[in-house]
Amino acid sequence: MSEVPKNKKTSKVRIYVDLFFFILMVLVLIPQTTGIAIHEWASFIIILPFFIHLIINWDWIATNSKKFFQRESNKTRFDYILNWTLYVFMIVITVSGIVISEAALPVFGIHFEADPFWTKIHNLSATLFMLVFGVHIALHWRWILGALSKFKFKSDLHHLTEVGAIISKRMLQLLLLISLSVVLSLTVYLFEFSQWAEGLRTSAENNSGQEPGGPGMSWMRYVLPLVKVTVLTGVPALIAGGIIRLKRKLRRKGIHS
């Protein structure tokens, strides 16, 4: 989201929440490195900072939802669509991750049959999420640098006590988000019974085979996931950042000419 919360305490909480979300996101996106158990539990925990991030930025969401079809800057409209795209990808990743769970849900006695359709959807949505998230970082890079430059871990730590107050204040919005997420999750799950899902299953089963690699390259399974996340997030961020800087330069030239 592009608008910084006006309340100073809330702004400090947002930095902690976003940092926590980013760390968990990296852990979630490198299951080959962390192992399936950490990957799955982190995937459940990440929902909390994600929802808190949304309710902290609720004023921005509400304001731009009302203004979307009015005369608004292209950047704001693009940012708005991008944020909802990230939200939808989070829902798809979570639903598909639950359906293919191998470690977390079995602890509670819940077992799903392995389904190549959901495995493919999970991997694809995670990849697309990284690409879109890279653009999101580029759009808010100035805010990120500004927030981190003013960030003092020890002295600002007490602001985390505001999390409870923020949740209480935004309880109605939080319930709305949970309800919307449940509806979208059920909608995503219904795709399992579609003809499209059957086609993907057949394709995945036909292409299934032994995993490449061997014992001599075992260290690569820990390094490559980090490289993948860095490339898939960093390249879109650099491209988007370059476009943003170019547009600013052209705008300045237009003003001075």
pLDDT digits (tens, 9 = 90+) for 73-100: 677 888 999 999 999 999 999 999 999 9
**Is a pLDDT exceeding 90 seen at residue 178?**
yes
Band the pLDDT of 2: cuts 50, 70, 90: very low
Distance in angstroms (rounded) separating the CA atoms of residues 4 and 244? 19
Distance in angstroms (rounded) separating the CA atoms of residues 94 and 88? 10
Average pLDDT of the residues of the chain: 85
Confidence (pLDDT) at 34? 87
pTM: 0.85
- Identify whether the C-beta of residue 60 lies closer than 8 Å to the C-beta of residue 2: yes
How far, CA to CA in Å, does 61 sit from each of 7, 16, 20, 77?
Answer: 17, 20, 21, 11
Distance in angstroms (rounded) separating the CA atoms of residues 76 and 180? 23
DSSP string, the chain: --SPPSSHHHHHHHHHHHHHHHHHHHHHT-HHHH-HHHHHHHHHHTHHHHHHHHHHTHHHHHHHHHHTTSS--HHHHHHHHHHHHHHHHHHHHHHHHHHT-SSHHHHTT------HHHHHHHHHHHHHHHHHHHHHHHHTHHHHHHHHHT--HHHHGGGGGHHHHHHHHTHHHHHHHHHHHHHHHHHHHHGGGSHHHHHHHHHHHHH--PPS--GGGTTHHHHHHHHHHHHHHHHHHHHHHHHHHHHHHHHHHHHH-
**Is a pLDDT exceeding 80 seen at residue 219?**
no
Q: Lowest-pLDDT range, 39-43, 51-55, 149-153, 154-158?
A: 154-158
**Is a pLDDT exceeding 80 seen at residue 60?**
yes
133-171 pLDDT tens trace: 999 999 988 888 888 887 777 777 777 778 888 899 999
Mean pLDDT over residues 65-73, rounded?
Answer: 76
Tell me which of 197 and 239 has the higher pLDDT.
Answer: 239
Confidence (pLDDT) at 226? 85
- Identify whether the C-beta of residue 133 lies closer than 8 Å to the C-beta of residue 86: yes
How far the first Cα of the chain sits from its last, in Å, is 33
Q: For the chain, what is the largest distance between any 2 Cα atoms, rounded to a whole number of angstroms? A: 69
User: Dihedral angle at the C-alpha atoms of 55, 61, 66, 72, nearest 10 degrees?
Assistant: 160
182-217 pLDDT tens trace: 999 999 999 888 888 888 777 776 766 545 444 445
**Is a pLDDT exceeding 70 seen at residue 8?**
no
Calculate what percentage of the chain has a pLDDT beyond 70: 87
